[in-house]
Structure 1
Amino acid sequence: MTQWWAPLAVVYLSVYLAATQHHRRALFPSAYRIKRETYSLINPTFQRSVDDVNLLFEILLAGMQIEAGDNTMLIPDEELASLRCVEKLDVICEDVLPKRLSDIRRLTAELAGRRQRLSWQEFERTVLTLVYAAQTLAGSSSTQQREAWTDAVIQLFRALQRDLTPS
Structure 2
Amino acid sequence: MKQWWALLAVVYLSNLQAATQLHRKALYPSAYRIKRGTYSLINPTFQRSQEDVNLLFEILLAGMQIGGEDDSLLIPDEELASLSSVKKLQVICEDVLPKKLSDIRRLTADLARCRRPLSWQDFERTVLTLVYAAQTLAETSNQHQRAMWTDSLVQLFRAVQRELRPS
Alpha carbons 1:66, 1:73 under 8 Å: kept: yes
Once residues 99 and 137 of structure 1 are traced to their aligned partners in structure 2, the CA distance between those partners, rounded to angstroms, is 12
Count of aligned pairs: 151
For residue 124 of structure 2, what is the amino acid of its counterpart? E
Q: Give the deviation of 1:132 after TM superposition.
A: 0.2
2:35 aligns with 35
1:74 aligns with 74
1:91 aligns with 91
RMSD of Structure 2 on Structure 1 (CA): 1.8
Q: Which runs of 5+ in 2 are unaligned?
A: 1-16
Residues 68, 110 of structure 1: CA spacing in aligned structure 2 closer, same or farther, 3 A cutoff?
Answer: farther
1:3-42 superposed matches below 5 A: 19=21, 22-23=24-25, 25=26, 27-42=27-42
Cα displacement string for residues 63-121 of structure 1 (whole angstroms, at most 9, x for unaligned residues): 00011541200000000000000000000000000000000000000000111101000
Could you tell me the percent identity over the aligned residues?
Answer: 72
Segments of 4+ in structure 1 off by > 3 A? Answer: 18-21
1:104-115 superposed matches below 5 A: 104-115=104-115
Q: Give the deviation of 1:36 after TM superposition.
A: 0.3
* Bigger radius of gyration: 2
1:100 aligns with 100
Once residues 102 and 163 of structure 1 are traced to their aligned partners in structure 2, the CA distance between those partners, rounded to angstroms, is 23
Partner of 1:66, secondary structure, is strand
1:12 aligns with none
Once residues 49 and 19 of structure 1 are traced to their aligned partners in structure 2, the CA distance between those partners, rounded to angstroms, is 31
1:53 aligns with 53
Alpha carbons 1:68, 1:99 under 8 Å: kept: no
Alpha carbons 1:34, 1:95 under 8 Å: kept: no
1:3 aligns with none
Residues 20, 40 of structure 1: CA spacing in aligned structure 2 closer, same or farther, 3 A cutoff?
Answer: farther
2:14 aligns with none
Residues 68, 29 of structure 1: CA spacing in aligned structure 2 closer, same or farther, 3 A cutoff?
Answer: farther
1:120-139 superposed matches below 5 A: 120-139=120-139
1:116 aligns with 116
For residue 164 of structure 1, what is the amino acid of its counterpart? L
Once residues 47 and 19 of structure 1 are traced to their aligned partners in structure 2, the CA distance between those partners, rounded to angstroms, is 28
Alpha carbons 1:34, 1:96 under 8 Å: kept: no
For residue 141 of structure 1, what is the amino acid of its counterpart? S
